[in-house]
Structure 1
């Protein structure tokens, strides 16, 4: 654990003291080293399932894949942002990289926290660097509006969670993940108890986001720079799923009754978000709404609470993190050349950038869950679990997967095929930096096919 925590802390002096001509090289080398060190977490499972650093920090098979994903994403964000920030003064480039490093530090502390309150503090702390990234380095004039949506949606959802956690501590005397399982379950009969359950869940459902509380997500994604979109899609949405998996075990007597409307809303959200994707003109907005659709499936899987559903939810979270991050990188390569996110104005890219079209093809197939990719494995496990819960749900999940395939193919065909518009004749070629970036996204996805037990969690 210290092998990734200490280098992450030491990244801050490195970024501010290194000469400006070596800034991006040293940042990339340093973050890549942290990412490689993080793989050692995979083979440290103790008999209890927990691997200790201290009483307040430990990892288990649920948090390890998400920790490794967090560490793997930082060098990719550094690679993707190099062109975006090249024209800025060096001090601003250092600040930008420091924000990314602070985001990684908070996420490592959140995923390895053994105290619920420490997890809550780190869960909230990730807001600050993300908000600065959106409002300072965003592309459009709407970025302040997007930052406000992002901040207030998340805060409005998470303040009831703080009160609920303090109530829980008052009742059980502990907030440690180790001992909460063994504390006596609360007698939950009153309406106030049902409000307590809702307060525990709503913060994570907003962060996921559940359809209905999702309005902050497309705005934040569309206005954020490429690094902001990558970390939002790949890791910050997963904080909500991870928090739900940890907390839902403590809410057991009530969850069986109260989760029904949320499961139905999540499955309805899969269809609605997918339908919205079908008529999006903005490329980044389409990818953002597809995240809402996929996370609806994850939410339903977690709320059902069967071992298969939990496993499927974790697998889908990891594979969606890599896929949607790759799609945002591809959208950014288009934007840097055409200066437009409108799909109709930037079509026929296969003729102009043929090798980039092959990356588009692989990422699109991963997004629509082509076998044998982990995306399909996660989706099938969740859909099977939901079908076991209620056979009527097959209608919703079936239509949802059909629409997912439709909008993924629509995105690929619209952006890659057709005649090249006349205003796009002199496009710069694709760079090896961009090909490396996409290879580092999609190769782990293909390699997980060989060894899926790394992201199964502790339930199998």
Structure 2
């Protein structure tokens, strides 16, 4: 509760229009991150107050949320000098509050309300600070996909409440063994992840969103789907065991197809957006295997993908700010143009394909084990997903860094702010893996 009140009392500071308001907002978010680190947590819901509580799953995702929101502010330096910069900070703060409420809720209805509410600040970010006119259609895609998928879930929540008179996660619900009940419960979260075949909103939203919108989408908002699936799985384990193979199969085939789609992209942000769909397909496979390895692997995948994908979007934006284009045909020869940024491109590209010593590597090992438990032959599909993932990551790095430079500028170095931004994305990916011993 103190964290929620802390965020609410930050709102008046945004409207004071101070000269250092931008830095003050950044500093306040980092203080809230530090405050949250000292919470006592247990493997089950702990720190319970006012229908809110945290456990291991929500703890890591809340830390990720606050970190990504604070990094959004660093990355959006072009908005800093605009007259409406305080509105941008308000949207970031509102998103931070909504995400913390989603991950803290002990009540399904509260989680559903904030799940829907997260659409509003995200659409304001896309409409207000997006790039092209196409951002309007991208916002509509995002809005209607989420709304269409989550209304059946709302009906299921009403049904649960009528039967049990409660909607708390730790209650033992009597759930009929019906495929449609299972479909309505998980579909809203599968669209948010997104699963292959309901992923069409994601590339549009990513490409048209400003850098801050892309970061929060890749970093945290896709993880709401995985978190929701985790919570729902504990309520209807029998249904997930019975029907999980459907989502498992779709994700297995979808991961390969989306990885191939990545190889024909002509837009840097579009490729990174499609790579998110490929990684989230692995995440679904881990969850639907219903094993401890799978759930842990998916959880680590969500954390590592949040940092790695967000870092790649930052790199794409750094190039965009200098070249005013996201096309691969203009983003060539960056090794000559920004030699000092090349190592960052390399690190994030290899981490994106799951190379050690990154957390992505560990999560893929966990998910591979869970896939073998679930169905031994899925090993062959995993080889294809892993190989094509390496292909598009290599394609992204080699196409942007090598080749002849297509512009008149001869040299540009990154700002210290940009290196700080990328380092904060990169360091946790390595440190979490090295400190993995403390988690068990």
Task: Give the structure 1 partner of residue 35 of structure 2.
Answer: 37
Compared with structure 1, are the counterparts of its residues 275 and 287 closer, same or farther at alpha carbon in structure 2 (3 Å cutoff)? same
How much has 1:144 moved relative to structure 2? 0.2
Structure 2 CA distance for aligned equivalents of residues 380 and 430 of structure 1: 34
Q: C-alpha separation between the residues in 1 aligned to 2:64 and 2:343?
A: 24
Higher relative contact order (CA 8 A, sep 6+): 1
CA deviations 1:387-418 (Å, max 9, x no partner) are 11111211111100000001001100110112
Aligned 8 A contact 1:79 1:433 in 2: yes
Residue in 2 that maps onto 1:289: 274
Tell me which of 355, 376, 379 is aligned to 2:364. 379
Q: C-alpha root-mean-square deviation of aligned residues, in Å?
A: 1.5
Aligned mates of 2:15, 2:428 — CA distance in 1: 31
CA distance in 1, matches of 2:277, 2:408: 32
Between the aligned partners of 2:332 and 2:81, the Cα distance in structure 1 is 27
Partner of 1:279, secondary structure, is coil
Write the distance in 2 (CA, Å) between the matches of 1:334 and 1:431: 12
Task: Tell me if the contact between 1:146 and 1:220 (Cα under 8 Å) persists in the aligned partners.
Answer: yes
* 2:107 corresponds to 1:115: yes
Give me the whole-angstrom Cα distance separating, in 2, the residues matched to 1:333 and 1:209. 26
3-state secondary structure, aligned to 2:109: helix
Q: Which residue of 2 aligns with 1:137?
A: 129
State the SS of the aligned residue for 2:10.
helix
SS at match of 1:212: coil
Q: Secondary structure at the match of 2:236?
A: helix
Residues 1-20 of structure 1: pairs in structure 2 closer than 5 A: 2=2, 4-19=3-18
Distance 1:96 1:108 in 2: 19
State the match for 1:88 in structure 2: 82
What CA distance in whole angstroms lies between the structure 1 residues aligned with 2:420 and 2:363?
A: 26
Are 2:336 and 2:411, in contact at CA under 8 Å, matched by a contact in 1? no
**Is the contact between residue 35 and residue 71 of structure 1 (CA under 8 Å) also seen in structure 2?**
yes
- Is 2:418 aligned against 1:442? no
Are the aligned partners of 1:337 and 1:427 in contact in 2 as well (CA < 8 Å)? no
Q: 1:234-383 counterparts in 2 under 5 A? A: 234-383=219-368
Superposition deviation, residue 372 in structure 1: 2.4
Question: C-alpha deviations, 1:295-346, integer Å up to 9, x for none?
Answer: 0010111112111100000000000000000000000000000000001211
Correspondent of 1:50 among 23, 45, 61: 45
Once the two structures are TM-superposed, the CA of residue 52 in structure 1 deviates from its matched residue by: 2.3
Q: Distance in 1 between matches of 2:29 and 2:237?
A: 40
Q: Is the 8 A contact 1:24 1:82 kept in 2?
A: no
Q: Is the 8 A contact 1:150 1:220 kept in 2?
A: yes
Q: What are the within-5 Å matches in structure 2 for residues 408-447 of structure 1?
A: 408-421=393-406, 423-426=407-410, 428-447=412-431
Kindly state the Cα deviation for residue 350 of structure 1 after the two structures are TM-superposed: 1.3
Return 423-432 or 373-382, whichever deviates more. 423-432
Q: Distance in 2 between matches of 1:241 and 1:366?
A: 21
For normalisation by structure 1, the TM-score amounts to 0.93
Is contact 2:283-2:301 (8 Å) kept?
A: yes
Q: Which residue matches 2:162?
A: 170
Deviations 1:28-54 (A, max 9, x none): 21122222222223xx124x6322241
CA distance in 1, matches of 2:241, 2:20: 56
